[in-house]
Amino acid sequence: MEKNVVNNKKVSSGKGFLDFLLMPEIGVLVPILVLCVITTTLKPNFLTWKYFSSILMGCIFIGVESIGQAFVQISGEVDLSVGYAGCLSGIMMGVACGFWHWGLVPCLLLSLVTGALVGLINGLCVCKLGLSSWITTLATQFICKGLAVTISQGEPMSITELGTSTFNRARPLGVSWAFLIFLFLLIVSDLVLRNTKYGYKLRAVGGNQNAAVMAGINADKIKIIAFVLCGLFAACGGIFDVINKASANSTFGDGREFRTIICVAIGGIAGGSGSMLGVGFGVLLFHVLWYALRILSVDTNLQLVLIGAVLVLSVVLDIQRKRLEARRIAR
């Protein structure tokens, strides 16, 4: 009898450890640790707080837009406009400051409304007109880019009169206020995804939309909200860009949509599955790799090759993790 109890404890502890290893977040954390160990061995100053804090602060801009991308991709769609939606939102902040002389709060609200509007248009086109999210968001990407260049006439737009320099220079806990805001948004988004009805419905729609509709879930509404959230987070990225540079520029956000897709994929996000914590680790892995290659003076072209290889490897590992999890459940 005692032997059975001991064996049961061993099995349960073994399963608990296996559950821990099969967590998507752990699959991302391991390569981060490996990269840090290898890079620190070659360059001992890599893991000093002064250097690593710059890596953390570099995560802000792609990171906050990756949160929005994650909402859309969990719903089973994709948003290619996220980079230039943020850019246009930043440009509108520059217009409100430089031409209309609005205060800080109205400027921020206008920027957020711009991002939300882009997201709403994407959502309506995909859900109500039945267009592909790839085509729709690619089109809105070009529209946002064209509007940003046209409105700004290709010139930077200063926001110095908003008085954001103090906010930008502050270093609470050795990082910036923008990073702490990004971390707060990441945690809140993770809680929404895990603990709210919307998070449950979003996973259901992304996992099997037909089954979700049969269960009484309004799939169109869920997806439209996801696109609007993506637009809002894109606007946050644009706001951080503008505050960081003290000006709005039509070049901000260039190529960011693909970086967010990479970070979201590394973080284990797929239709109906994934967590925002995984997205955070995905963003961190991307930037640790990027900074590690730079500090090791790896050729720029080779950097792109290695980043692409890491993306493929991370997806393969995630597929293997899901297969192991499926086998364990089947037993």
Helix (H) or strand (E) holding 158: strand 157-158
Q: pLDDT tens digit string along 205-235?
A: 999 999 999 999 999 999 999 999 999 999 9
Q: What is the pLDDT of residue 231?
A: 97
Q: What is the pLDDT of residue 19?
A: 57
Summarize the confidence of residues 18-27 as an average pLDDT: 60
pLDDT higher than 60, residue 3:
no
Q: Which residues contact 129 (CB under 8 A, 6 or more apart)?
A: none
Going from the N-terminus, what domains does the chain have, and what CATH number goes with each? Answer: 30-330 (1.10.3470)
Q: Which of 83-92, 156-165, 291-300 has the highest mean pLDDT?
A: 83-92
Write down the pTM of the prediction: 0.90
Close Cβ partners of 24 (under 8 Å, ≥ 6 residues apart): 267, 268, 274, 275, 278, 318, 321
> How far is 299 from 314, CA to CA, in rounded Å?
22
Contact of 317 with 27, CB cutoff 8 Å? yes
Average pLDDT over residues 144-162: 94
Q: Partners of 158 in the beta sheet?
A: 247
Structural Rg of the chain based on CA atoms: 21
Q: What is the pLDDT of residue 16?
A: 54
Q: Say if residue 311's pLDDT is above 80.
A: no
Is 22 a residue whose pLDDT tops 70? no
Dihedral over Cα of 227, 242, 261, 193: its sign: negative
